[in-house]
Every structure is written in C-alpha cells, then in structure tokens.
Amino acid sequence: MLMPFANEPLTDFTREDNQKKMKEALEKVKSRLGREYPLIIGGEQIYTEEKIVSYNPSCHSEVIGRVSRAHQALAQRAVETAAEAFLSWRQVPPEARARYLFKAAAIMRKRKHELSAWMVLEAGKNWAEADADTAEAIDLLEFYGREMIHLAQPQPVTPYPGEENTLEYLPFGVGVIIPPWNFPLAILTGTTVGPVVAGNTVVLKPASNTPVIAYMFMEIMQEAGLPPGVINFLPGSGGEIGDFLVEHPLVHFINFTGSRDVGLHINSLAARIAPGQKWIKRVVAEMGGKNAIIIDEECNLDEAVAGVITSAYGFSGQKCSACSRLIVVGDAYRPVLDRLTERVAQLKTGPAEEYGTDVGPVIDDASYNKIMGYIQIGREEGRLLVGGQGDNSRGYFIWPTVFADVAPRARIAQEEIFGPVLAVIQAKTFDEAIAIANDTEYGLTGGVYSRNRAHLEKARREFHAGNLYFNRKCTGALVGVQPFGGFKMSGTNSKAGGREYLKLFMQAKSISERF
Ligand SMILES: NC(=O)c1ccc[n+]([C@@H]2O[C@H](COP(=O)([O-])OP(=O)(O)OC[C@H]3O[C@@H](n4cnc5c(N)ncnc54)[C@H](O)[C@@H]3O)[C@@H](O)[C@H]2O)c1
Ligand SMILES: N[C@@H](CCC=O)C(=O)O
C-alpha cells in the first residue's frame, strides 16, 4: 500500500557527515563540467551544431555544459512526436502513470546531493537553497502521483433514479512546458510531471540559464522508464522556438512560469486561433511578485527582522515569493531599521559552493546590470542603509541592500527587481500598511508580523495575496501544505503543489446512461 504523502526532509548541513556528502557531490559534479548534452525527441538523442552554453554564475569563466539548441524544424518534430505519443499515453491507466513519478522520486532521492550540487554550480544556489529545491522536486513527484490516483477514483455526483451518472477526468493532449531558471529542478519537475501524470504529453523548453540540471531531470525520467515521446526535451531560445510552440495548432495548453512580460506575451499569442486549431488553448501562467511584509508595532522585532532577512535575501532575492517591500508601522520603524542595518551587514556574500555563504551570485550579466540599475534608482528614491555594491569581475555578486524612507509608489517599491534589494516604507497605522501592501499590480506572497489579533484578522480579510504568512517568512511554500500561486498580475493562481492543480490539465466528461 502507498504511504500517505509526507514532505521530503531537508538536509541538516550543520552535521559534518552531511557536509562531507555535499562536498563529495560537488567534487563529482565538478569532474563532469563542460560536457555536451543532446536534446531529446521521442527518446532519440539529437546533437545540433548550435549550443546553449551554461556558465557558473559564481565564476563566469567556468562552463557547466553545452546543450544542443533546437530550431523550428525540431520544434515541429517535437510537437508531432508528442501528438503521436499521446495516442498511447492517454490509454495508460492513471495508477501506472503515477508509478513512473514514484520511481523518478526514488531516483532523485538517491541522487539528492548530486542534483543539489548541479544547482549550486549552475544556478548559484547556496547549499540549503539547492537542497530545498531538490526536496521540492521529490515532493511534487510524490504529491501529483497520489493526486492522480485520487482523481481516477469515481467522482461524486448526485444519484438520479433510473440512470447511472459518472464524471471522469480526461487529458487534453499536447502541452508546452516553459519553466524559469530560478527553481530549475522543482518548478521544471512540477510543471512537467503534473500535466504528464494527468495523461498529457509535452514539449519541455527549459530556461536557457539552467539547461544542464534540466537534462538531469530528463535522464531521471528516462531511467524511471517513461515511454519515449511523453516528454520531449527541447532547449532553445524563447523568442525563436517559444513563440512557435505557443502558436502551434496541435498544442492544447501552455504551462508557463516566469516573468510578467513573457507570461502576458504568451497569453496573448495563445488566444489567437491558428489555422487548423480545434480548441481554445489553456494558459497557466505563474508570474512575478512585489511582495510585502508588514511589521506591526506589537510584535517580536528580532524574530520579525530575521524573517524579513530570510525572505528578502534567500537565493539573493531571486524568488518570485521574495520580500522586496518592508512596511513598518509607527514607532517600530526606527528599531527595525537599526536591527536591519546591523544584521544585513553580517550576511556573507560569496561563491555558492562555499559552505556558509548566505548570499550567492545573481544569475547572469543581464540580471546583474538590471539590479545594479535599480540600486542606482534606489539611491535617488530612498536612503541607502546597507549594501549597494556589486562585483562582477569573477562572478555576479551583489551585496544585500536596504533602502529606507522609500515612498510607496517609488519605482523600487513597485517594480520587480528580482535581486537582493529591499525597500523599507513607513506607515502611520496598520490600516495604512495594508493599503500600501495592496497597492501594486502583483499579489503573490505577503506577510505580517503582529501580536495584535484584530490586525491579523484584518490582514486575513484584506491583504490581497495568494500566499499570506503570519509571524514567519514569506518564502518556502511546502508542497501540499501551502499550495502556491498568486493573484492579479502574479498569474493564474494555479496553486502548484495543491489539490486543484492537476485538474487544470484535464477536462471533465459527464456520462449518463438511462436504463
Ligand atoms: N509565480 C511563480 O510561481 C514564479 C516562480 C518562479 C519564478 N517566477 C518569476 O519568473 C521570473 C524569473 O524567471 P525568468 O527570468 O526565467 O523569466 P522569463 O520570463 O525571462 O523566462 C521564463 C521562461 O520563458 C522562456 N521564454 C522567454 N521568452 C519566451 C517566448 N517569447 N515564448 C516562450 N517562452 C519564452 C524563457 O526561455 C524561460 O524558459 C520572475 O519574474 C519571477 O518572479 C514566478
Ligand atoms: N514556491 C517558492 C517560490 C517560487 C518562485 O520563485 C516559495 O514559496 O518560496
């Protein structure tokens, strides 16, 4: 009998045996850097002339791998192959589909530190962040496998005299999966295997900064025995093959996670009906955030500041869930600024592979320049308390930065920076703090530190965010525990890791027979 779902435990790196295992995994991965990887269509490995070269953001001269880059003819072949594979994959019983996921989870568990080591080197995640990414990928395999088994059971309908009535969930067909680089294993795994276990076949276009860890995922799904053509691995440029895939008439749905601009572009392309297209495409698009934590006057300020720091600077602020606005109520403002200044200055910025690094690099040159540009804007819009420096001579390092006295409508308080930059805003009252928190186009995560019951209840009702957290950090949603997805321009609220997720990739059929 299948065990009930339980979240994968995180690794305790304060233990020396675990440190040793992680160091060994890093050495093993380092001995494999610079290799070439194919794209995979219908189980066939295809090497192309053109490559996507992936670099270590902690040391940008180090090549992680060279991955074959698809062009439009290969994209066409991938879609046709997925359409062909759908004819047999949809006939595979849901329980059997789920077993591929359980097997893949078991393989990931065995390769846990190695997978995390790839992300330390390719994405610049520190050990704990990489470990959490691997654990979440395992969780998503285990969770969606069980959810599919659950959805395959007879669904409740009201009994009607003289008739048998049933409702069953059927897959759509071919989907395109477009994940981001910032959770290069967890989000890639979840957005792919959710639709797949629901009976769809997919073309997976990984993010160009992290194609090697994406290839490791493909390797694991193949080792788990997934039939050829169910997942087709197609690295390539978003502009060149992304648009082509989204517009393709055989594609039934797009499962995208990434920035607001690309998400809205995909949404508008997918809304146009291509010649020969026989359905309305479904777009699931999870996008950016400009998340706020409110620190109320009545609360433990030390705990609050610690939670804000973890939320703002974990993975260098490169999480859609990251806290990028801190709103402090009334007299708490000065003591919060003092604590922030002292503690943020103590964070260790450096290469992700060094044990003890708090803040690793940002992902690439373009991100580095964009974030440094926002820091420049911040110098005009606020008062720099800590940080503000960057160094891209070896890797893309930006020191954790705090701006105080920022106006709620300032650019650094409205636009997603996606880096280690926090804007601190003062509010006179708790009501004003809630109004400021809601005053952005995003609505992904939010947080409140308060001991005031009436304030917490007000925030429950009025703080408009898909994932709201009280007296804890606003990052690190756990699969099954805090289904993840936002409001407004943060996306379609698909709730990854939640019980509704798989239904987004299925259509319900009601069958009625009168006897
Ligand atoms: N809401 C969430 O759950 C969530 C989770 C993680 C990241 N994000 C957001 O993702 C962003 C960071 O990720 P990113 O930099 O990879 O985002 P991005 O939008 O630049 O890229 C996301 C993916 O889209 C692809 N792409 C780019 N142009 C495309 C096109 N024209 N057609 C099809 N695909 C295209 C990219 O290659 C990549 O695979 C941030 O805004 C962050 O908030 C959101
Ligand atoms: N689900 C992750 C964020 C994913 C976006 O980057 C969290 O809850 O921190």
- CA nearest 487: which of 454, 443, 447, 435? 443
Q: Which amino acid, 459?
A: A
Ligand nearest to the CA of 443: 1
Q: Would the pLDDT of 239 be above 90?
A: no
90 is written with which tokens? 């949809």
Residue range 295-307: mean pLDDT, rounded = 98
For residue 456, the Cα-to-chain-centroid distance in whole angstroms is 28
Tell me the β-bridge partners of 326: 293, 424
Helix (H) or strand (E) holding 402: strand 401-404
Q: Give the residue, out of 313, 320, 362, with the most ligand 2 atoms within 8 A of its beta carbon, to mutate for a pocket test.
A: 320
Q: Is the C-beta atom of 337 inside 6 A of ligand 1?
A: no
Contact assessment for residue 70 and residue 203, using Cβ atoms and an 8 Å cutoff? no
Q: Give 45-73 as a DSSP string.
A: EE--SSEEEEEETTEEEEEEEEEE---HH
**182 touches ligand 1 (CB under 6 Å):** yes
For residue 321, which ligand has an atom nearest its CA?
2
Round to whole Å and give the CA distance between 94 and 254: 22
pLDDT score of 381: 98
Which of 72, 136, 262 maximizes ligand 1 atoms within 8 Å of its Cβ, making it the mutation to test the pocket? 262
Residue 471 CA, distance from chain mean position: 23
- What share of the chain in percent tops pLDDT 70? 100
As given in the structure block, the two tokens for residue 250 are: 């055989």
Structure confidence at residue 502 (pLDDT): 98
Q: What is the pTM of this model?
A: 0.98
In angstroms, what is the span from residue 136 Cα to ligand 1's centroid? 19
**Has the ipTM of the complex gone over 0.90?**
yes
Report CA(118)–ligand 1 centroid distance (Å): 20
Q: Please report which helix (H) or strand (E) contains residue 383, including its range.
A: strand 383-386
Residue 466, ligand 1, Cβ within 6 A: no
Phi, psi of 167 (to 5 degrees): -135, 125
CA-to-CA separations, 31 to 25, 28, 126, in angstroms, rounded: 10, 5, 19
Residue 180 CA, ligand 1 centroid: distance in Å: 4
- The pLDDT tens digits for 171-222 are 999 999 999 999 999 999 999 999 999 999 999 999 999 999 999 999 999 9
Q: Active site includes 286?
A: yes
Which atom of ligand 2 is least distant from the CA of 445?
Answer: 8
Measured between alpha carbons, how far is 502 from 62 in angstroms, rounded to an integer?
39
| String of DSSP letters for 107-148 | HHHHTHHHHHHHHHHHH---HHHHHHHHHHHHHHHHHHHHHH
Indicate whether residue 476 lines ligand 2 (CB < 6 A): yes
Mean pLDDT, to the nearest integer, of 323-333? 98
CB 202 within 8 A of CB 196: yes
* Structure confidence by residue, pLDDT tens digits, 16-41: 999 999 999 999 999 999 999 999 99
At 501, is the pLDDT very low, low, confident or very high (cuts 50, 70, 90)?
very high
Closest-approaching ligand to the CA atom of 260:
1
Please tell me which residue in 122, 129, 286, 381 is annotated as part of the active site: 286
Dihedral over Cα of 4, 10, 14, 17: its sign:
positive
Beta carbon of 208 within 6 Å of any ligand 1 atom:
yes
Ligand 1: which residue has its CA nearest to atom 30? 238
DSSP-derived secondary structure letter, 13:
T
Q: Which residue has 């093959």 as its token pair?
A: 241
Predicted confidence at residue 150, as pLDDT, reads 97
